[in-house]
Amino acid sequence: MASTPEAGTLPRVQPDELEVFRRELTGYCYRMLGSGFEAEDAVQDTMLRAWRSADRFEGRASVRAWLYRIATNVCMDMLRGRKRRARPMEVGPSSPPDESHLGGVLPEHLWISPIPDSRVVPEDGDPAEIAVARETIRLAFVTALQHLPARQRAALILCEVLRWPAAETAQLLDTSVAAVNSALQRARATLAALPDAARPRTVTAGQASLLARYVSAFERYDMASLVTLLHEDAVQSMPPFAMWIQGAQDITAWMVQPGPSECAGSRLLPVMASGCPGYGQYRPDAAGGHRPWALQVLEISGDRIAGMHFFLDAESLFPIFGLPAHLPA
């Protein structure tokens, strides 16, 4: 029989006190790691480490700061010795819309992957803070962060995304305020020096009418309509393939190639992914109904679509987005 803890030996921090921070910690770890899957793992590890050491928490810092310190250490451990994640647009030049350029499937750990907004964006609160949360989990922003060394990345996220004072950030990172300010300066310089294609672009979160027209055009597989919804220099990527396409005309030409044309007759279910509108795409299933094919994430700039990112690991992604495993006929 398990022994009952004596009075005074119970942990000072209880599980429910830790769980209230799960959503914001997941957002922090996602920005650090660039992977929704790894962010979930990092937060789970953080919670386990916190619970196991709860009896040693002395209350010198807030529970929130204590958890962020643990999460930072977890992320630093996970990042040690690995290459940064990227998007196909950073790996090589765009390709012509021809299937012969598709190439092979590359490992998941190379790519930035999306995360459901519901796992990282506050359910309620200040609309401005919610807007910042969405802006800073977008694929382009998270990709840009991966160009920074881990400690610079942490300093930038803590100070400029989460608005921690430099003194608190210095305490969390076991360094000085001067070192934090220096890290921020270097991080800003690195981001400013990135090529235009690697920098976050202004994205519009709304646009219900544009999205409705996109769904209609895609489900009808009407390329003449779809091309009018795209920016002239729009991009399409398809992780885990390195191939990517630039230009509205090339994108729609690609989509009627023999392989991609099998997407005709698809159905789309809406999601919010990495701060952007997205869709679970289901292709027709020969056995009946529709089967998962890709998680689409759309970047909208102004009144048109600037980016179409099709993540083809539907088997792994659809469950975490709450998307069904099959659609009936």
Q: Identify the helix (H) or strand (E) that includes residue 97.
A: none
Task: Please give the tally of structural domains in the chain.
Answer: 2
State which residues form the domain around 17. Answer: 11-82
Question: What's the angle, vertex CA 234, arms to CA 228 and CA 236, rounded to 5?
Answer: 110
The model's pLDDT over 107-160, given as tens digits with 9 standing for 90+, comes to: 999 999 999 999 999 888 788 888 889 999 999 999 999 999 999 999 999 999
Q: Is residue 56 part of a domain?
A: yes
In the predicted model, is pLDDT for residue 60 greater than 90? no
Which CATH number goes with the domain that contains 49? 1.10.1740.10
Cβ(291)–Cβ(285) below 8 Å: yes
- The mean pLDDT of 248-255, rounded to a whole number, is 97
| Whole-number pLDDT of residue 197 | 63
Question: How many Cβ atoms sit within 10 Å of the Cβ of residue 54?
Answer: 18
C-alpha to C-alpha distances, 32 to 25, 147, 150, 175, 226, nearest whole angstrom: 10, 11, 8, 19, 35
Helix (H), strand (E), coil (C) string for 191-216: HHCCCHHHCCCCCCCCCHHHHHHHHH
The model's pLDDT over 266-304, given as tens digits with 9 standing for 90+, comes to: 999 999 999 999 999 999 999 999 999 999 999 998 899
Which CATH number goes with the domain that contains 245? 3.10.450.50
pLDDT band, residue 200 (cuts 50/70/90)? low
Q: Is residue 32 part of a domain?
A: yes
The model's pLDDT over 224-245, given as tens digits with 9 standing for 90+, comes to: 999 999 999 999 999 999 999 9
Residue with the two structure tokens 């210095």 = 170
The mean pLDDT value of the chain amounts to 90
**CA 231 – CA 302 distance, rounded (Å):** 9
Q: Is residue 192 part of a domain?
A: no
**CA 146 – CA 160 distance, rounded (Å):** 16
Handedness of CA 170, 73, 140, 117 (dihedral sign): negative
